[in-house]
A and B are shown apart, each in its own frame.
Chain A
Amino acid sequence: MKVGLFIPCYIDQFYPQVGIATLSLLEKLGCEVVYPQGQTCCGQPMANSGFEHLTSGCNTLFVDHFQDFDYIVGPSGSCVLHIKDHLHVPEREDKATHIRQRIYELAEFLTDVLKVESLQARFPHKVGIHQSCHGQRGLGLSQMSELVAEPFSKPQQLLQMVEGLELVELKRKDECCGFGGTFCVFEEAVSVKMGKDRIADHVNNGAEYITGNDVSCLMHLEGILRRQQSNVKVLHMAEILNASID
């Protein structure tokens, strides 16, 4: 199984440790993983700002880099969703379609494709899960509180395999953190307020760490936590699932 590793631009630039954890976790689980050099961005920052018509350069690059893999896996629900919903290259639509159908966010790749049932990981801490909206409501990583439907959660399923990890219950289990792409700067006041409220929910329920499947949301929450000089830390789920038993 040849897996193409998709590391979104801001993870590449600011959170290389998340890329490393993702790669190492996939390798541990027996995947043949290749990171195609020269990849940049999925185009989402432009598209969500109303400039989807400018994303053809990003789209072409994406197809160039990922057309030959059995699966494409990325540690970001939001970027993966963008590719799934919007990747089109008119003259190479068959390749684009292959990618749209074969791209997975890391957690769903582990639960649905690799069907992971146990992990050699240990993380003896209280952890709160931040459900990033695009992963949850867009990719269906977990059930949505608005719907009258059976609950499930792929991230939770995986985190429960980690030795010593204790999940904290939240008052609002799937409220948006307010990152929202360029929303975080163009609507700064509401964005930060939403982030502060999310953090308060985790802190009030005893979380030492906030984890999730989208570094963008975590970057926003981390920015607020650091400004508050809080001891609570953010970690991408890959970093926890890859935390080895010493």
Chain B
Amino acid sequence: MEHENHKHQEHAVLADAFNQNEPRVDWHDETLWWVRQKRDRMAWSIPEWEELREAASQIKHNVLGNMHDYLLEFEKNAIANGAVVHWAADAAEHNKIVLQLLQEQGVKRMVKSKSMLTEECHLNPYLAEHGIEVIDTDLGERIVQLAKEPPSHIVLPCIHKKKEEIGDLFHEHLGTPAGNADPKFLTAAARQHLRKEFIQSRVAITGVNFAVAETGEMVVCTNEGNADMGAHLADVHIACMGIEKLIPQRKHLGVFLRLLARSATGQPITTYSSHFRKPKEGQQLHIVLVDNGRSRQLGREDFRNSLKCIRCGACMNTCPVYRRSGGHSYHNAIAGPIGSILAPNLDMKDYADLPFASTLCGSCSNVCPVKIDIHQQLYKWRQVITKEGYTKKTKAAGMHAMNIVLSKPGLYKTAGGVGRWVMRTFPAVVNNGMNPWYKQREMPAPPKESFADWYKKNRK
């Protein structure tokens, strides 16, 4: 199910497999494009949309420049509120802290609302190894969990699944009637099933969307209220967050909450924006602050502002490559354009292919509510990955040869002339199965004369 530490195929190979079923690619593309259009309509409903994006970007800029102080301020206020604050340097430490808290409570089964951080840390399989079962309570996440798959999208985890497939899964796992794929019916079945879990669970894990330094409170945004259900019913609430989730003051929520849901799903706001500040009488509230490479990314000047991300997923919905390759082709907890600039920081070798899984069209940077220069960072990661030696040798050799030809006008002219002559005379040299261009496209017809030749004859 999970994808750590074993060899995976590269994006291009996985994307090729995804494209074997073209009608399904069309369906996936149209589904996500519909979300992009909803986002557009919502953005246009706010005349000051672009100013709002700029404000959000600047607030996060301030956070990234003063991370140390805001973290301490948040910790101090959270402790004063009665929370217990834990610091985790990496995923392993995060998982250990959570496990220990669960073992102290002696629980074997517990609920978790949506948290991309715990996906990033591969918490579920880690806990499973220690005999603890996690029930994901976000409907989409529960669906992929039942399918033993990772989420394919950070906001819409099962967007790659058709309702009939979900019907089959529910039939198998929740006992719904075979062949019933009515979304309303299936949702009701999931509610029944999850309600039991909520009531029984003594511990609830939630993610965090925003942590307010000024007050020590956390805001969790959901459409299903599942974070509230879990956290309110449990004796122990564990909130796991990356250290970049901070915002300085509560008033800044007015900027971020307006942007988040509009960018994510084209809703004016998420159904629930729940504030967690103090544990109620008899309840424990634990906050796990996780670094896991974020400090390292903060130190990379070119990539620093990737940490502004508020996980709305708009860059995925707009990405023409993501829509036609599917989230799993990115073999990372976070897919799409933002995943492709975050992942190389975690493991440059393992994710060396991701910054190349883009045409650099730039649509991602334009929809980003915090104005991350995503496509420019993709370009920059390509340079870093190449310099670090993670490019394939054949590609490197090709580039060196190209450089030699293009740096010498005489050689370029000869090579061009010879190349076109070969293409005209022996088209099979290029029109064959070895040439990926030719697989589904004709080669351009090679003219007898280059522009330079023509110019010499016709001008001077």
Contacts and interface: CB of A to CB of B under 8 A. Distances in A.
B310 to A, nearest CB: 17
A176 B383 contact: no
A187 B357 contact: yes
A223 B431 CA distance: 12
Most chain B CB within 10 A, of A14, A184, A192, is at: A14
A20 B454 contact: yes
Given A16-B451, A176-B359, A193-B22, A146 B366 contact: yes
B361 interface: yes
A145 interface: yes
B439 interface: yes
Given A220-B441, A222-B444, A53 B383 contact: yes
Given A35-B459, A137-B361, A188-B440, A197 B29 contact: yes
Contact of A50 (B40, B49, B386): B386
B436 A185 contact: yes
Contacts of B436: 185-186, 188
B19 A193 contact: yes
B428 interface: no
Given A61-B409, A184-B437, A133 B403 contact: no
Interface residues of A, number: 73
B19 A178 contact: no
A37 B439 CA distance: 35
B447 A16 contact: yes
Interface in B292-332: 318, 320-321, 324-325
Contact of B451 (A12, A183, A222): A12
B402 A179 contact: no
Interface residues of B, number: 75
B12 A189 contact: yes
Nearest to A179: B359
A50 B407 contact: no
A41 B59 CA distance: 41
A134 B362 CA distance: 8
Contacts of B408: 57
A40 B407 contact: yes
A7 interface: yes
B336 to A, nearest CB: 13
A23 B455 CA distance: 10
B363 interface: yes
Contacts of A192: 439-441
A40 B414 CA distance: 12
Nearest to A49: B399
B214 to A, nearest CB: 30
Contact of A187 (B15, B44, B50): B15
A224 B46 contact: no
B416 A12 contact: yes
Chain B binding surface SS class:
helix
Contacts of B456: 37
Contacts of A212: none
B383 A224 contact: no
Interface string A164-195: 00000000101110111101111111111111
A49 B49 CA distance: 34
Contact of A224 (B324, B359, B440, B451): B440
Interface in B40-54: 40, 43-44, 46-47, 49-50
Interface string A48-62: 111111110110110
A227 to B, nearest CB: 5
Given A50-B391, A185-B437, A148 B360 contact: no
Nearest to B379: A48
Interface string A79-93: 000000000000000
B447 A219 contact: no
B441 A227 contact: yes
B347 interface: no
A46 B399 contact: yes
A138 to B, nearest CB: 7
A113 interface: no
Nearest to A14: B444
B382 A227 contact: no
Contacts of B441: 192, 195, 220, 223-224, 226-227
21 contacts: A13-B420, A14-B445, A35-B455, A40-B405, A41-B406, A46-B399, A50-B356, A50-B385, A50-B386, A57-B407, A60-B407, A145-B40, A146-B40, A148-B47, A172-B33, A183-B358, A183-B359, A190-B12, A193-B19, A197-B29, A226-B441
Interface of B: 11-12, 15-16, 18-19, 22, 25, 29, 33, 40, 43-44, 46-47, 49-50, 318, 320-321, 324-325, 356-363, 365-367, 379, 382-383, 385-387, 391, 395-396, 399-400, 402-403, 405-409, 412, 416, 419-420, 436-437, 439-447, 449-456, 459
Given A12-B416, A188-B436, 20 more contacts: A14-B420, A16-B449, A37-B456, A40-B405, A40-B407, A40-B412, A48-B360, A49-B395, A49-B399, A52-B383, A146-B366, A148-B44, A174-B363, A176-B361, A180-B358, A183-B358, A185-B437, A186-B436, A188-B12, A197-B324
